[in-house]
Amino acid sequence: MNIFVAFLGSKDICGWPYKSFDFDAQIQKIKKTLTNIENINNEKVEFFGFKHIENDRNIVESYKEMEKADGLIIATITAEFASLGPSISKLCEMDIPTIVYNIPFSVYYDGFATLYHSGVKALLVSSSDPKDLQQALIAVNTVVKLKKLNLLIVRDLDHDYSKIEKDMLDPARWKGPKYVRMIKEIFGVSLIFAESNELLKCYDSVDDKMVENDLVKIDEKTIKEPPKTDLFRAVKMYYAMKKLMEERNCNGITVDCLSYIREKKLPISPCYGLSRLLREGVPAGCEGDVDSTITLAISLYLTQIPGFMGDPVLDHANKQLTLAHCTSSCRLCTPQKDIEDVDYFFRTHNESHSDVGIQAFMKPNLPVTVMKIMHSGFAQFIGQPTVFTSTSFIGYHLLCYESKTSTTVVDDHDD
């Protein structure tokens, strides 16, 4: 990740923070802090430019250098009273993720709201410690990774409507050119489409010996209902998805598994494969759900922790939100770089008594964030305060003797 750095202001002016302020010393302090940051979320980061901006000519000269930048840091060093001199918005016209760094009262900067509402993609970091830029850089890194996300959507256009309801393929699930453009414009994500016959071709080409080598590593105690034949198919489907992603130059995937399960187009559901890909740090979502898969990608890129994709149900009486789904990563609450997994079992689906999914046991009494990218492209989220309390429903539930992974979160405020 390459970050261009610009310093805004002039030396020895009458203004903020004070006359004869050591402009160069402040620049060197910030520069030293930045150059000591070698990586963000395990990705190498390089800072360059370090350009002093005093006027419009300096801004125009910077545009060429910014062409190779993934992000931009604008550090406000001095200003003439309440004026910032060269317009920050002009520096932002290259339309790359931007951090405006303001040391309190180094300048009197009150223009961020105007900048934000003008559509500039920027974050404000107002802090006396340049190290606080690291959190904002994680957000920039997330944007950079989203722009590099080629998301594979495996879905068919032809269906057997004697086995599948047309309502399952309602207009909200249609992914035409308009939707593809919207996703590209908002998130920078590229959508690539494939059909089940391509996935089946990859499945048939997977080396069975490689699958068998994986099977012997599975702890027998973690296997509940699925027979070994289904486990074999599930592992083989994982390798088939990886192969298809490689062939189509994709680094994320979602599969229309609901249709395939009902129409029996695949030898096994992709649930285990999606779980394993998430564990490896690959955005992988169920049901051909692009919005939720992008949500998973954002949470993964921000935290390095795989998220859990679930269907939410509210219980107002107990202030609970319960989410359930057919599978889950076993690397929950733990950064992807670490080796610790939560406890988990291989289970069959409770709706069909077939296929293979992962039931993961999340750690209780931890704060969680629930978020969802809506079909319009807007992010809706519940931040703090929510506390994860349980891995099973209370009373009515969907678990049966087989499993969905489910979570319950509670609001820990009284209001």
Burial 230-251 (b: 16+ CB within 10 A, else e): bbbbbbbbbbbbbbbbeeeebb
Q: At residue 296, what are phi and psi to the nearest 5 degrees? A: -60, -40
Same-domain pairing of 343 and 398: yes
Each of the 415 residues of the chain gets a pLDDT tens digit; together they read 999 999 988 887 777 777 888 888 989 999 999 999 989 988 899 999 999 998 899 999 999 999 999 999 999 888 776 655 557 888 889 989 999 998 877 766 667 777 777 778 888 898 888 889 999 999 999 999 999 999 999 988 877 777 777 666 655 567 889 889 999 998 999 999 999 999 999 999 999 999 999 888 888 887 788 888 888 999 999 999 999 999 999 999 999 877 777 777 888 888 889 988 988 889 999 888 898 899 899 988 988 888 888 778 888 887 777 777 777 777 666 555 555 667 777 887 766 677 777 777 777 777 777 787 776 555 554 444 444 444 443 333 333 333 444 555 555 555 5
117 plus 194 within the same structural domain: no
Write phi, then psi, for 334 (nearest 5 degrees).
-130, 130
- Please tell me the distance from the alpha carbon of residue 145 to that of residue 301, in angstroms, as a whole number: 7
- The last residue of one of the domains, among 80, 111, 142, is 142
Looking up residue 119, the CATH number of its domain turns out to be 3.40.50.10940
Task: Based on the fold, state whether residues 162 and 297 are members of the same structural domain.
Answer: yes
Per the structure, the count of domains in the chain is 2
Same domain, 316 and 237: yes
398 CB burial (10 A radius; 0-12, 13-18, 19+): middle
Residue 93 main-chain phi, psi, to 5 deg: -70, -10
User: Are residues 170 and 133 part of one domain?
Assistant: no
Based on the fold, state whether residues 129 and 154 are members of the same structural domain.
no
Indicate whether 91 and 201 sit together in one domain: no
Q: Which of 84, 118, 142 is the last residue of a domain?
A: 142
Looking at the fold, whether 69 and 118 belong to one and the same domain comes out as yes
255 with 325, same domain? yes
* Domain of residue 69, residue span: 2-142
**Whether 30 contacts 101, CB under 8 Å:** yes
Residue 366: other Cβ atoms inside 10 A: 13
Q: Are the beta carbons of 128 and 276 closer than 8 angstroms?
A: no
Answer yes or no: do 37 and 177 share one domain.
Answer: no
Q: Report the C-alpha gap between 1 and 142 in whole angstroms.
A: 11
| Residues 118 and 153 placed together within one structural domain of the fold | no
Q: What is the DSSP string of 150-218?
A: EEEEE--S---TTTS-GGGG-GGG---HHHHHHHHHHH-PEEEEE-HHHHHHHHHHS-HHHHHHHHTTS
Alpha-carbon distance of 91 to 79, in angstroms, equals: 16
Indicate the pTM of the whole model.
0.84
